[in-house]
Structure 1
Amino acid sequence: MLQLTLATLRPRRALPGFDPLAPSVTRLRVRPGDLDLYRHVNNGVYLQYMDLGRSNYLADLGAFGRLSARGWYPVVAASTVKYRRSLTLGQRFTVTTRLLGWDGRVVYLEQVVERDGLLVARGWVAGRFLSRAGDRIAPADVIAAIDAGLRESPALPEDVAAWARAVDVAHR
């Protein structure tokens, strides 16, 4: 939680010319507080790692200033994670965050956790942006604020689109 707070309040430096459709990589190491009684990373901690990856993705874009100036902030509407392998104390790993696309309601991200080139976990996240007044912000408006050149969403992979319909976050 401390890492997420720092990443949000003091984001890493923006990457000049970073493409919103390019993957953003966050490098981490398992800490003692990340472990459960079985001495591997608790499933809920993976969600925090993914939160950190999304914050770093926004930082790479240089989006924090532009979004906060408008009073906009991100929230998770839905997420699904598939776990393949465990992480244990001291292991280094990466969280790769990639924007898959958006519709009239939410943006869709894929987040992949890997250790030594092996898949540890994969998650899909549907996120939306809210204003400080509590209004929903159209994803197209958020994308335009981040990158004025990006106008159309890439086609969502069919499995992601099916998931979005199944969890009832897809634009109707």
Structure 2
Amino acid sequence: MDLLRRYLRLLRIRLAARRQPALGLHDVSRVAGRVGWSDIDELRHMNNGVYLSLMDHARLDLMLRSGAWAKIRAARMYPVVTAQSIAYRRSLVRGQRYVIESRIAGYSDKHVYIEQRFVVDGQIWERAFVEGRFVRDGGGTVPMEELAAVVGEDLAAHPAPAWLVEWSRRVALPPSRAEAPSSWPEGSDRPGAGDEGVSVA
């Protein structure tokens, strides 16, 4: 996705959000799109990484229309993605129309989880789960209790599914200031070696 197209899409989402009905923080947001030339790769379908960029934009629609974005920016906070997983069912091709549906799946004691779907004619073509947390403009992580107070929601009333929290635990990397050496287990060059370390079921 080229830089100009990215910012034009962000502008379109911001302008469209002003004309759309307000949403609750835990409602489903829907953002329509169409696959452009800069979205496709050499295999003539939408590049795998473009899906993730488009999901970034779609999450902004939910934040804007729920009023949460204005509140967290006033508190000098912003969200960051800490992990995500996406399943691809069918390929989107140039010119094809789709809708990205986004909904908060729940919260843990550290993270917020969002489910997002690429939908064509009412059918799910791709589905992703995104884990994020909120940080301060000046640095440092925002505790979930403080986030709840800022957005005016009881986050504890919306717990994340247990399997999603377990997935988060299994794929997590050490904190940014800790060591994270790239060392492979002995025999990890064998097909399937190390698979027992990651599970999302």
Query: Could you say which TM-score interval applies, normalised by the shorter chain?
Result: 0.7 to 0.9
Tell me the secondary structure at the aligned position of residue 95 of structure 1.
strand
Letter in 2 for 1:83: Y
Aligned position for 1:99: 104
Supply the AA of the counterpart residue of 1:161.
V
- TM-score, structure 1 length as denominator? 0.87
Percent identity between the two aligned chains: 32
Which residue of structure 2 lines up, in the alignment, with residue 129 of structure 1? 134
State the partner residue of 1:33. Answer: 38
The match for 2:64 is: 59
Counterpart residue number, 2:169: 165
Alpha carbons 2:118, 2:124 under 8 Å: kept:
yes
Residues matched between the structures, number: 167
Higher relative contact order (CA 8 A, sep 6+): 1
Partner residue, 1:43: 48
Q: Please, what is the CA RMSD of the aligned residues?
A: 2.1
Whether contact under 8 Å (1:3, 1:52) holds in the other structure is: no
2: CA distance, partners of 1:87 / 1:110:
19
| Counterpart selection for 1:150 from 150, 154, 158 | 154
Letter matched to residue 45 of structure 1: V
1:21 is displaced (CA, Å) by: 1.5
Alpha carbons 1:34, 1:41 under 8 Å: kept: yes
